[in-house]
Structure 1
Amino acid sequence: MSPGFGLKGSGSMSKPATVGDNLSAHRHGWLKKTNVQKWIFVLLSITPAFGGYLVFTLYPNLLSVYYSFLHWDGIGEPTYVGFKNFVYMFEDPYVWRALGHNLLFMVTIPPAVILISLVLAYVLTNRKYWGSSVFKVFFFFPNVLSTVVIALLWSFIYDGSFGLLNAFLGLIGIEMGNFYWLGEKTALWAIIPPAIWGGVGFYIVIFVNAMVTIPKSLYESALLEGAGHRTRLFTITLPLISPIIRVATLFLALGVIKGFENVLTLTNGGPAGGTDVIGLYMFNIAFGKGSHDYGYASAIGMLLFVILITSKWLSDKWLPNQSIEY
């Protein structure tokens, strides 16, 4: 009998499955199962964070765009007004006054914080003082406190009757009487020192950690060439940590533009709007005393969003974004 007797199709016998083939099929199935498990794990890992971003960031922002075309007090029936909120916003003098205050804070607070933090970080890194670690903790202490607590502390310092500032000035021969520093004449400038004091400690820690990564051999070579502290600071330290300085400046500038907790606690925008900033003005329109207008507040929020995006673009264009290596 021929070997192909009784077989349909080909006259040759089919090759029986080997142990290797079974193992290959088993491995292929196991691999597919592993890929599925991997993607399930990835989805489960990112879902909480991404879901929180969608619910608490993206969705409110998109909703603000919708609200900006409405007149709505948050309770009654909303009324569609089109671009009237934006037209009124550009005609509102309080908006531009608040933006002027933001501009003042942006050109004073970030440079002061960066300068003071760099000087103190350089001193702590290159001058081996006794108890340097204690000084680091001391400088960082304001960052342990919330912005509201810092503002409340400074409100007591600025008090005219029992404030520490008037008492200190009296000790050095400058009698201020019961002068109230959060009054009409000085309130705007009195907001700047608390913001600087509350931000310096964090950036000292950032700059110290950046400076300690610079190779000691660079400073030793500079010392052999007779370079002093100033030369080493401007030719070695600052160029090597310039990317860190750039990011710190960006964070500070954006924080000053959108932040208002310090002003809210110290003056609530007063007296007579003399310290109002754009974030606080928007907050008071939406949630302050009297009538509420979520639509107009949302329109101001859109303006604030454009300002933040523009500031980021300008910082990327003007601030150097390249690291230097020796």
Structure 2
Amino acid sequence: MGEGRLPDKPLKAWLQRSQTQKHIFLLIAIVPALGGYLMFTLYPNFVSIYYSMLNWDGISPPEFVGFDNYIKLFQDSYVWRALSHNAVLMLCVPASVIMISLLLAYLLTNKSYKGTGFMKVVFFFPNVLSSVVIALLWSFIYDGSFGLLNSLLRVIGIETGNYYWLGNTDTALWAIIPPAVWAGVGLYIVIFSNAMATIPKSLYEAAILEGANHMTRLFLITIPLIMPIIRVSVLFLALASLKGFENVLVLTNGGPAGSTDVIGLYMFNLAFGKEYHNYGYASAIGMFLFVILVLVKLVTDKFFANRSAEY
């Protein structure tokens, strides 16, 4: 055995000890996160399945009712009305956010503007605010007496008087959409801008030589190449439109006359509202919402092919 060479047995023992240390490190890194996931995500979901089969107000002894809550759910007109409002939000919010974000991201990426980085920060600013703060800001904008929206309309010659946009059943649901769009656009501008920055400039240069304008380049080069990013963004926005209710809670609390009630808010009020404390029925609605979210995910995967264009 030459000089400087470690004996086979000590070397083998050292390698084994190194692998052991690696495994210990991986366990230390993974176990806390896995434990948190099991405790705060997986366990509550399984418990909710059990709760959904109870008639329980959180205080009195629970009564097992089997699938009665699910039967009641399908006969509850409030559930279907709330889901219809969610459907409107799910169609309007993702489409608006994606279109506005794509256009602005393309302009910021492919046009020579000064202060592009600053503009991205400005667009991203709503994302550092909580949803409650955003809803409060827009409640002032929509205010009938001193709201910014009515003031701007009067400036351009449209007299609305002291119109309360959130207090009218014809406009309340539609007034929920702009705050959600404003809050989401900034994040997706950053995401789409980073995706567009990876597209080879030679593709745009070749398209320019062929006489393609900006819209042609956007729809025939940019969008096909970042389609996987768009697909995931649509999915996230659609799921958020179904699950979220913070904006509705602060802006209208489901009113007027239930015209803005959404399924998440209805479930929240059933469990924690002033009039109801029906944890069993609220859990059943939560399980039903989970099934809807899975279906939306499957439909999104089917509608948006999981592939990108190649040039």
TM range (shorter): over 0.9
SS in structure 1 at match of 2:44: helix
1:147 to 96, 106, 131: 131
When normalised by structure 1's length, the TM-score is 0.92
CA RMSD of aligned residues (A): 1.8
Asked whether the equivalents of residues 269 and 276 of structure 2 are also in contact (C-alpha less than 8 Å), the reply is: no
Corresponding residue number in structure 1 for 2:228: 243
C-alpha distance in structure 1 between counterparts of 2:151 and 2:297, whole Å:
42
Farther-moved stretch of structure 1 (313-322 vs 61-70) = 313-322
Corresponding residue number in structure 2 for 1:44: 28
Corresponding residue number in structure 1 for 2:115: 131
Which structure's CA Rg is the greater one? 1
When normalised by structure 2's length, the TM-score is 0.96
Corresponding residue number in structure 2 for 1:108: 92
C-alpha distance in structure 1 between counterparts of 2:154 and 2:54, whole Å:
55
C-alpha displacement of 1:182 = 0.4
2:274 to 261, 281, 289: 289
Corresponding residue number in structure 1 for 2:174: 189
C-alpha displacement of 1:29 = 2.5
- The letter of the residue matching 1:211 is M
Corresponding residue number in structure 1 for 2:163: 179
Corresponding residue number in structure 1 for 2:37: 53
Corresponding residue number in structure 1 for 2:252: 267
Corresponding residue number in structure 2 for 1:218: 203
Gaps of 5+ in 2: none
1:199 aligns with 2:152: no
1:27 aligns with 2:6: no
C-alpha displacement of 1:77 = 1.0
- The letter of the residue matching 2:303 is W
Corresponding residue number in structure 1 for 2:153: 169
C-alpha distance in structure 2 between counterparts of 1:28 and 1:129, whole Å:
61
C-alpha distance in structure 2 between counterparts of 1:272 and 1:72, whole Å:
27
Corresponding residue number in structure 2 for 1:7: none
Gaps of 5+ in 1: 1-18
Asked whether the equivalents of residues 172 and 260 of structure 2 are also in contact (C-alpha less than 8 Å), the reply is: yes
Deviant stretches of 4+, over 3 Å: none
- The letter of the residue matching 1:323 is S
- The letter of the residue matching 1:303 is F
What is the aligned-residue identity percentage? 67
SS in structure 2 at match of 1:191: helix
Corresponding residue number in structure 2 for 1:80: 64
SS in structure 1 at match of 2:275: coil
Q: How many residues align?
A: 310
